[in-house]
Structure 1
Amino acid sequence: MGRRVRHRRYGLPVRAVAALVSLSLLAGCGGHAKGVMTPVALASPAATAQVEMLVATTREPSGNPATLFSGERSAELSFTDIAVSIPPASRRKVGEVQWPRRLPPDPQTDFAVTRVEKLASRDEARAWFHRHNVGGHVFLFVHGFNNTYEDAVFRLAQIVHDSGAKATPMLFTWPSRARVLDYNYDKESTNYSRTALEDGLRALATAPDVTEVTILAHSMGTWLTMEALRQMGIRDGRIAPKIRNVILASPDIDLDVFAKQWVDLGKGRPKFTIFVSQDDRALALSRLISGDVSRLGAIDPTAEPYRSQLEKAGITAIDLTKVKTEDGLHHGKFAESPEIVQLIGQRIMTGQTLTDSEMTLGDGITAVVAGTAKNVGTVAAATISAPVNILEQPARPRKKKPALGETLESDAEGGATN
């Protein structure tokens, strides 16, 4: 047998390094300005929209007001009150983050930070929520791999504004170095941050002002979210009832591992929705460097065994493979597609059932719930109450009928493609 050549610095196969480099070129920022966190004044506030958010982070402070936090890890959890201005509707497309090409940004054409206030304690963070409470509903975003602090702030502002979400926005941002070749560092940073996220979720769930929590996690942030929820399930015996909706967008999670995480959540799980896409190039790379094991976000939810397993687990899967956006990696469709981002804010966050008579999203979008699948330009779904026993069966030998973790591993025709 031939020996696989490995890259000396990163311990990766040469083909994986080559793929990482190609991916970095596809994910280029297009020349936008860096260091946008310095607040600017608004000349005409009435012409722009404002998104105010509470940001919690396990990143190390950068010491630079233009960036606020770096990609290194901090032992302390920091809180910041941030406001972002969104350009007028006539000057932007829904789903687009309009980065300034030069500094300072022009609020009439660019996303712009208009307020940054460091909060010195958890008590100040709780006071912030009390002042910004929107019906007791918290919308918590956990970003993915290869994101700076400002990337995450602007993305949440865009999602909140474009989705029309009626909730208090919060961001949990973990230490990503925002370099494609630092994939393994980023993955370990999610592990580093999972207890901080768990503690934050528990604090929200016990706060009297909070009635409901929706979590939206993207890419590698879905791993962090599942690990934090798993720890809560093991530690408390259940997930806090106020955590009602969990949305996993392009989840970068090994299928076998997800099955085990799911079991450890315990009974009374939140409602789960996953956005998947078989043409996701970032997840194809993740599969390549992770032992060629399929990622949850790249399955075909209409194919077996996934369709039946999703039904039994009560997980809604929405297939975005045919959705077209400007994202060359096909990894951010959940936020960049106007129809999908509005679906998140107006339907999924409120726990509503999706039906083909009530919601048309365009040709080729498929939803699978309880084994129901349609691909005729609508999202078709049904409520489910199926048991999740299949997820809790012990692993069996591969020659026998496999349990969920093993059936998902088989990947059939639903894996990511290069």
Structure 2
Amino acid sequence: MNARSAARLVASLLLAVTLAACASRPPPLAPVAAGPVKTETVDMLVATTRQPTADKGVLFTGERGSTLSFTNVVVSIPPTREAGSVQWPRSVPGDPAHDFVTTAVEPLKDGQLRPWFKQHETKSRRVLIFVHGFNTPFDASVFRFAQIVHDANANVAPVLFSWPSRGSLLDYNYDRESANFSRSDLARVIETAANSPDVSDVIVMAHSMGSWVAMEALRQIALQRGRISPKVSDVILASPDLDIDVFRKQLLEIGPKRPHFTIFVSTNDRALRISRLISGSVTRVGAVDLSDEQYLAQLKNASGITVLDLSDLRNGDRLNHSQFATSPEVVQLLGSQLIDGSGVSRSDMDGSGQLAATAVGTGQVLGSAAGAVLSAPIRIFEGTGRY
């Protein structure tokens, strides 16, 4: 990377810091009564290594807690909004007719986890564990996960793992160490879900720096137990902020009897460009260029890995870093094929190697007819090797 490119990335970072400072929000998590307008809800289990606070609007800070805490949180979703968006309250407590709000917050003890899985058992008996990324306050992790579960129409019991992120772009190193701090606790959450008799499958989905927490937790389970429970069937890594060399070794140490991996990548991910700049200029997994033969060759040698290239996608977030959640096309794909366990493969592509709209659902992809190619193509690559 030349000096001019580096300067542009730093300028982008400073701009993002300025925008974040201007976008401060009132703490919105104090429960409110349901209003007269009918809304839908997402009832989730939250496991967090954050420091709890007596402030009912905050619940947990960005500092590191002394123990793993569990809370049952119910989020109300307003009826009128765009898919992929979170409607933040402009003032507290918020209006359920227009805003994301919580309607119930109940602390749980360890002994209440198995009853929680039984009470929240779905027809699929599947559990989705989501691990958020860098620069994510607790309230943002709760509302974003609720949005994903709702917009994906996911038939799962939702579990959020929220690790101590201060929610500041200037605290990258603090967040990275907090990720290390939390990996054993995530391993405990994964095994608790897998050991529940009311759960048939566990899907782990991680975003950005959360992918490091997820990979380290899975690696720890494999090294301690000899293998990961076969109930952990799928791992979805969205824009993973992972050193590509470290990721390769993590896969090897997890071993051949591992879950299926689906990875979202984009060469246009501006956040990962900045991460690469401050991480020794090593390529991040979420930003690999699959037109580069060296990466294609590595993928061909890896079994059980599907890569979805979002580089040509033009909707979603400003940094092209959260398209798995903010792009209506991608979040529908998550629900209709990835979270439900059916997966995505080359059989879902058209002749040009692009993902067809029928792979996303019943033709309900923004402006597309059933069977048509997505307006913004998603390309699929599959590994066929042995490691």
Residue of structure 2 in register with 1:128 after alignment: 116
Question: Is residue 97–residue 155 contact of structure 1 (8 Å, CA) maintained in 2?
Answer: yes
Match of 1:323 among 313, 324, 328: 313
2:273 is the counterpart of 1:273: no
Question: Is residue 127–residue 159 contact of structure 2 (8 Å, CA) maintained in 1?
Answer: yes
Residue of structure 1 in register with 2:284 after alignment: 295
2:355 is the counterpart of 1:366: no
Residue of structure 1 in register with 2:89 after alignment: 100
**Distance in 1 between residues matched to 2:252 and 2:335, nearest whole Å:** 28
Structure 2 counterparts to residues 221-260 of structure 1, below 5 A = 221-260=210-249
* Larger-gyration structure (1/2): 1
Secondary structure of the 1:316 match is strand
Match of 1:356 among 349, 352, 356: 349
Post-superposition CA distance 1:230-263 (Å, at most 9, x none): 1111111111111001000000000110011110
Q: 1:332 to 1:25 in 2, by over 3 A?
A: farther
**Distance in 2 between residues matched to 1:148 and 1:110, nearest whole Å:** 18
Match of 1:71 among 40, 62, 68: 62
Structure 2 counterparts to residues 37-56 of structure 1, below 5 A = 37-44=29-36, 47-56=38-47
Post-superposition CA distance 1:305-360 (Å, at most 9, x none): 22232232131111111212352211111101111111111101213343126424
Question: Is residue 9–residue 273 contact of structure 2 (8 Å, CA) maintained in 1?
Answer: no
Q: Aligned residues, how many?
A: 358
Residue of structure 2 in register with 1:310 after alignment: 299
**Distance in 1 between residues matched to 2:299 and 2:337, nearest whole Å:** 20
**Distance in 2 between residues matched to 1:302 and 1:240, nearest whole Å:** 35
Q: Amino acid of the residue matched to residue 343 of structure 2?
A: Q
Shift of 1:93: 0.5
Instruction: Give me the CA root mean square deviation.
Output: 2.0
Question: Is residue 202–residue 231 contact of structure 2 (8 Å, CA) maintained in 1?
Answer: yes
Residue of structure 1 in register with 2:74 after alignment: 83
Shift of 1:21: 2.2
Shift of 1:363: 3.1
Secondary structure of the 2:264 match is strand
Shift of 1:99: 0.9
Instruction: Give the TM-score, by structure 1 length.
Output: 0.82
Post-superposition CA distance 1:137-161 (Å, at most 9, x none): 0011000000011100000100000
Residue of structure 2 in register with 1:58 after alignment: 49
Q: 1:345 to 1:29 in 2, by over 3 A?
A: farther
**Distance in 2 between residues matched to 1:56 and 1:29, nearest whole Å:** 28
Q: 1:29 to 1:351 in 2, by over 3 A?
A: farther
**Distance in 2 between residues matched to 1:189 and 1:71, nearest whole Å:** 9
Residue of structure 1 in register with 2:28 after alignment: 36
Secondary structure of the 1:181 match is coil
Q: 1:70 to 1:240 in 2, by over 3 A?
A: same
Q: 1:244 to 1:64 in 2, by over 3 A?
A: same
Residue of structure 2 in register with 1:387 after alignment: 386
Residue of structure 1 in register with 2:362 after alignment: none
**Distance in 2 between residues matched to 1:310 and 1:14, nearest whole Å:** 32
Post-superposition CA distance 1:55-87 (Å, at most 9, x none): 000000022101000011112110001001111
Unaligned runs of 5+ in 2: 351-357, 360-372
Unaligned runs of 5+ in 1: 5-12, 371-383, 389-418
Q: Amino acid of the residue matched to residue 150 of structure 2?
A: H
Q: 1:25 to 1:44 in 2, by over 3 A?
A: same
Question: Is residue 283–residue 297 contact of structure 1 (8 Å, CA) maintained in 2?
Answer: yes
Using the TM superposition, name which of 30-39 and 315-324 deviates more: 30-39
Question: Is residue 36–residue 67 contact of structure 1 (8 Å, CA) maintained in 2?
Answer: yes
Question: Is residue 32–residue 100 contact of structure 1 (8 Å, CA) maintained in 2?
Answer: no
Match of 1:24 among 11, 17, 29: 17
Match of 1:347 among 311, 326, 337: 337
Post-superposition CA distance 1:83-124 (Å, at most 9, x none): 011111xx20011111111222111111111111111x1111
Shift of 1:19: 5.3
Match of 2:149 among 160, 165, 171: 160
Question: Is residue 83–residue 326 contact of structure 2 (8 Å, CA) maintained in 1?
Answer: yes
What percentage of aligned pairs have identical amino acids? 47
Using the TM superposition, name which of 156-165 and 96-105 deviates more: 96-105
Question: Is residue 32–residue 99 contact of structure 1 (8 Å, CA) maintained in 2?
Answer: no
Q: Amino acid of the residue matched to residue 73 of structure 2?
A: I
Shift of 1:17: 6.4
**Distance in 1 between residues matched to 2:121 and 2:164, nearest whole Å:** 27
Shift of 1:30: 6.6
Q: Amino acid of the residue matched to residue 172 of structure 1?
A: F
Match of 1:147 among 129, 132, 136: 136
